[in-house]
Amino acid sequence: MKIPSALLAISSLLLLSGCDLVVMNPAGDIAIQQRDLIITSTVLMLLIIVPVLALTLFFAWKYRASAKAEDYDPEWHHSTRLEMVIWSAPVAIILMLGTVTWISTHRLDPYRPIERIDHERQVTADMKPITVEVVSMDWKWLFFYPELGIGSVNEFAAPVDVPINFKITGTTAMNSFFVPALAGQIYSMGGMQTKLHAVINKPGVYDGFSANFSGPGFSHMRFKFHGLSQEGFDQWVAKVKDGGKGFGRMEYLDLAKPSEREPVQYFASVDPELFDAILNRCVEPNKLCMRDMMHIDANGGGGKEGIDMAKALNSVICTPLSPYGVASGSQSLPAAIQGQTFQPAALPDTKAQLSSAPKNAG
């Protein structure tokens, strides 16, 4: 027994009606504007697509072999008026799409701080945004709140109608940070920092995940985002501080080991320099930070001109407070720098200074 295709189509639509298409029903203003852009672009394109499809079917029917159309002219080859219609409509649609896309691309730039809470309220000077630092790992998500000194794994929260500034980086494989109800996706990459600005307008618990394949644990690389009232957010912060533990470099190195289905964890205190060390790939003891490596390259590289700097920066831990490192052990440090904290002034700043320094004989 064959089931009519129309019945199958209707059944599929009924099943899909129970789905929550969160991209088309978001809870954050940025995601709402992105949804509106999708709808606007789709409607503009359908203005061309629908007539073309309809006319294709109409002409196929009118000039079918069995029909005897009176206006059929096999020798016809040109009509100026028809050419004007055929080309002017697509050009107009392309101009409208280009204009809409240009404006929206700049207005919804993820690096651009948001200017409004929703379509009725603008961001004011007294609205203090909350900063969330995000680290994608194998295969879990790590969140820091630098102003609050707390952190969590596979869960984060934010108060409703408060701007959120995300700073995003990664450890190994490239991932994509995506909370469909909040805003569009943004990539996370090791040794690089991307940004996202957003706001949540409705309380609720929303799904977040990686939208970029990153290995065997990718399908379980999910987290929960809690949109809370200010009172609810304060209670969430208190829960993290009361039930959490300390989180520093050694704890991070242990967490960084690949794992799947990592349970939610809370950290009552977080090393304030940890995110910067993760970004610069120097969490491990006695490892040179990327920014210092680039500083060496900018001032002569690894050749003769960079030897002094390489020696000074070798085998030390760099921190934001001591950007040129704090010696961490005597076993691998030159005697001249054991126990010292290096300041920028201690290093040559230009190639001219390096070239003017006395050179060793031979």
- Does the pLDDT at position 85 exceed 50? yes
Q: What is the mean pLDDT of residues 210-220?
A: 93
- Does the pLDDT at position 343 exceed 50? no
The CA distance from 269 to 248, in Å, is 8
Look at 298 and 248; give whichever has higher pLDDT. 248
- Does the pLDDT at position 332 exceed 80? no
Grade residue 3 by pLDDT with cuts at 50, 70 and 90.
low
The CA distance from 105 to 116, in Å, is 16
Query: Model-level pTM?
Result: 0.77
Q: What is the mean pLDDT of residues 116-142?
A: 96
210: closest CA among 184, 188, 178, 258? 178
In order, the DSSP letters of 32-70 are HHHHHHHHHHHHHHHHHHHHHHHHHHHHHHHT-TT---T
Q: What is the mean pLDDT of residues 228-243?
A: 96
- Does the pLDDT at position 331 exceed 80? no
Round the average pLDDT of the chain to a whole number and report it: 83
- The percent of residues in the chain predicted with pLDDT above 90, rounded, is 62
Grade residue 62 by pLDDT with cuts at 50, 70 and 90.
confident
pLDDT on residue 68: 76
- How is residue 72 written in tokens? 């059929």
Grade residue 206 by pLDDT with cuts at 50, 70 and 90.
very high
